Every structure is written in C-alpha cells, then in structure tokens.
Copies of this chain bind each other. A is one copy, B any other.
C-alpha cells in the first residue's frame, strides 16, 4: 500500500508554479517536468483548482498559484488530491462478530488508537507550508547547481 503519487505530483506542480511564475505553465510543459502524461496533470490541476489553490486558464492555457506559498500547507494539498479518505487511513475490518466480546468492541478501540496515529501524521503535514518546502527545494537546487 502506498499513498497515491497524486500528492507528490501536486506538490511538484505547485513548486513549479512558484519557481517559474513567469513561464507559460501548460499541462504539457508541467508534464515534461513531472515525467508523466499531460492528462494526469490536468486532473490534478482540476483538484487543486476546486479548492482554489490554483487558477487555470482554459483556451489560452496556463496555470497560476491562487494563494501565496505561506498560505498553503501540505495537508491542504493532501486533502485536495483526495489520496486518503478523511479519517480513514487504516482500513479496519468491517464485520467482526457482535456476539463475541472482542468482536463487538475491537472496532471502537482501534478507531480510537489508530486515529491518533493518523492525526500525528497529518499534523506534520499541516505544519509544513509550501513556502518552507520551496525554500528547502531552492537551497537544494543551488547546492547542486
């Protein structure tokens, strides 16, 4: 099991739009940087557009950031691309036997404990903004230039 690469692709797209704000960022051009098909990019852009993280120009083409980087955190991106149903990172088996004491109560206990683990993960995502990420990325680019 892995969380869909839609998430990392979305972060890649936002980074491009931040670092290359002047360019004509068409789905074709973005796809060239991400290494995938333009349709994949359009689909992710559609999801980012729906939550107003980007604007996309139909017809003439091009995508643009709709918020400043400091206003975008990774959890918002993660939610936007819908890679994990909210509160449902762990799949708890759905039909334990209600006639068995353990079966009747295990779901509630697992939900309680596992949601904590999930929340810890999401808190880290919420605490990282695209601004910080782009800073790290820019330093990395300079260091290897």
Name the one of B8, B105, B108 contacting A93, with C-beta atoms under 8 angstroms: B8
At the interface with chain B, which of A27-35, A48-56, A62-70? A27-35
Given the complex of chains A and B, what is the CA–CA distance between A20 and B102 in angstroms?
10
Is A21's CB within 8 Å of the partner chain B?
no
- Identical copies in the complex: 2
What B residues does A3 contact at CB under 8 A? Answer: 1, 89-91
A90→B124 contact, CB < 8 A: no
Is A133's CB within 8 Å of the partner chain B?
yes
Given the complex of chains A and B, what is the CA–CA distance between A35 and B125 in angstroms?
35
Interface positions, chain A 78-110, Cβ under 8 Å from B, are 83-85, 88-97, 100-106, 108-110
A-B contact pairs, 22 of them (CB 8 A): A1-B2, A1-B83, A2-B85, A2-B90, A2-B91, A3-B89, A3-B90, A5-B91, A9-B93, A11-B106, A11-B110, A12-B93, A19-B101, A35-B95, A36-B95, A101-B145, A105-B137, A106-B137, A109-B137, A117-B121, A117-B125, A121-B121
